[in-house]
Amino acid sequence: MTRDPKDLLLRLFRAAVDSANPAKTIAQHLPDPPLGRVVVVGAGKSAAAMAAAVEAAWPNVDLSGVVVTRYGHAVPTRQIEVLQAAHPVPDANGAIAAQRILQAVSGLGPDDLVLALISGGGSALMTAPAPSLTLDEKMQVNRLLLASGAPISVMNRVRRRLSAIKGGRLALAAAPARVVTLAISDVPGDDPLAIASGPTVWDPDAAMDMSAIAAQLGDDLPPSARRLLLETPAPLPRFDANYRMISTPLLALRAAADLARAEGITPLILGDAIEGEAAAAGQVMAGIAQSAALHGLPVKGPAVLLSGGETTVTIGAVKPGRGGRNTEFLLSMASALNGANIHALACDTDGIDGSEDAAGAIVTPDTLLRARAAGLDPAAMLARHDSYSLFSRIGDLVTTGPTLTNVNDFRAVYIP
């Protein structure tokens, strides 16, 4: 069968994203309406879309509440208020949103229901600094975390320690009301505590030693934040969480795998929790793809290697260009493939790779050739984290705009 590899990769990506559309998934996970009030709160890149889906699924239920999403990710709602704030570094609107959410769940009774809509990005969007920390100091910590190369799990532990709303504190503020959380996972392993830093989940790591990450963040770490990371806090009251996953990275990969099979292509899901440096992961993926192409191992073509997770980019001392973890992964992979007959796509399912306006990009066998013909030096651009610029110049960025969902990164490697 003759097929266009780029079109195939884009359709696989769309299938993965579409599987995580809250309009298609949220209704089946809703609890029964309570005797009392229904207060809807939430935070994340999909929070507004999730709120609209709740309103559509419960047209005759009286709802109130407030959710916060990233700038540009709002959608119209009738009863639930939608606020917007900055991501990945918090801003004042995120702090206002956090206070509005805490106010919305205060004073409720045991017959009331708090429906918490949580998705990726909620940690930065709903920011309530710990009492001894200012918003500016919290923003500085987030900048240091994003540049540190630390795994997202470690970043979220820090964010919970420095927060007045994360790590279960939102659920405690809503007591004695019943709290049901509907979540879209964007983290490896689908750990509820890691999605938006677990605002409705009890934190067993609250007293964990964080001296190592405090040292890693260096001398620019604000003194008040350093004290909070080095001290052992009092444990929070333990509680059970009613937590329901409505979409996950693995479900998105399975949706793409189903489409591949329908196309007569063998899918191989390598995992939904691949982490590490983006450039290193790109080299590893190139090696797996070459083995498949040359030896039929771990799968014989025509095949597609599917994976998810979240790599990181450690900036170091170099002045960075324009990049993102997915485009850096791809440029490193293309360099290792060096013209092999393999195509690949890597995109963030929220439509935004890092802080750029593209979801990611596509690699073709002639990526390096076309880049050099355009006067670009792929090796130098990879070294200075300028992968976005390279793919932009050769026309291989994937631009979707906000998808209004987020199940982490999606990678597809096609072996003909």
- Does residue 3 have a pLDDT over 90? no
* Residues 242 and 253 reside in one and the same domain: no
DSSP classification of residue 12: H
Gyration radius of the chain's alpha carbons: 22
Cα angle 241-247-249, degrees, rounded to a multiple of 5: 110
Q: Which of 247, 281, 309 is the last residue of a domain?
A: 247
55, 241, 396 from 31: Cα distances, Å: 14, 14, 44
* Residues 233 and 266 reside in one and the same domain: no
Give the closest residue to 187 by CA, choosing from 171, 201, 169.
201
* Residues 281 and 226 reside in one and the same domain: no
pTM, two decimals, is 0.88
- Does residue 1 have a pLDDT over 50? no
* Residues 76 and 215 reside in one and the same domain: yes
Helix/strand/coil for 229 = helix
* Residues 193 and 154 reside in one and the same domain: yes
The pLDDT score that the predictor gives to residue 316 is 80
CATH number at residue 88: 3.40.50.10180
* Residues 172 and 271 reside in one and the same domain: no
CB 167 within 8 A of CB 208: no
Q: How close are the terminal C-alpha atoms of the chain, in Å? A: 10
* Residues 327 and 366 reside in one and the same domain: yes
* Residues 227 and 364 reside in one and the same domain: no
* Residues 260 and 237 reside in one and the same domain: no
Q: Which of 221, 247, 273 is the last residue of a domain?
A: 247
d(CA 155, CA 162): 11
Between 223-230 and 152-161, two packed helices, what is the crossing angle to 10 degrees? 100
- Structural tokens at position 288: 């797996």
CB environment 228-262: b (16+ within 10 A), e (fewer): bbeeeeeebeeeebebebbbbbbbbbbbbbebbee
DSSP classification of residue 365: T
pLDDT tens digits, one per residue of 116-170: 999 999 999 999 999 889 989 988 998 898 888 887 778 888 989 999 999 999 9
Give the max Cα distance, the chain.
68
CA-CA-CA-CA torsion sign (106, 109, 115, 120): positive
d(CA 201, CA 195): 10
d(CA 386, CA 321): 4
Residue whose entry in the numeric block shows the structure tokens 């949580």? 118
Calculate the average pLDDT of the chain: 94
Q: Residue 164 belongs to what domain range?
A: 31-247
CATH number at residue 409: 3.40.1480.10
* Residues 284 and 183 reside in one and the same domain: no
Q: For residue 298, is the peptide bond before it cis, meaning its omega torsion is within 30 degrees of 0? A: yes
* Residues 193 and 234 reside in one and the same domain: yes
Q: State what percent of residues in the chain have pLDDT above 90.
A: 82
- Does residue 41 have a pLDDT over 50? yes
- Does residue 336 have a pLDDT over 50? yes
Q: Which of 196, 218, 247 is the last residue of a domain?
A: 247
* Residues 273 and 348 reside in one and the same domain: yes
Q: Give φ, ψ of 81 to 5 degrees.
A: -75, 140
Q: Give φ, ψ of 348 to 5 degrees.
A: -85, 130
In a domain, 55, yes or no: yes
In a domain, 22, yes or no: no
How many structural domains comprise the chain? Answer: 2
The better pLDDT of the pair 160, 344 is held by 344
The better pLDDT of the pair 253, 138 is held by 253
In a domain, 26, yes or no: no
- Does residue 58 have a pLDDT over 90? yes
191, 195, 405 from 120: Cα distances, Å: 12, 6, 8
In a domain, 24, yes or no: no
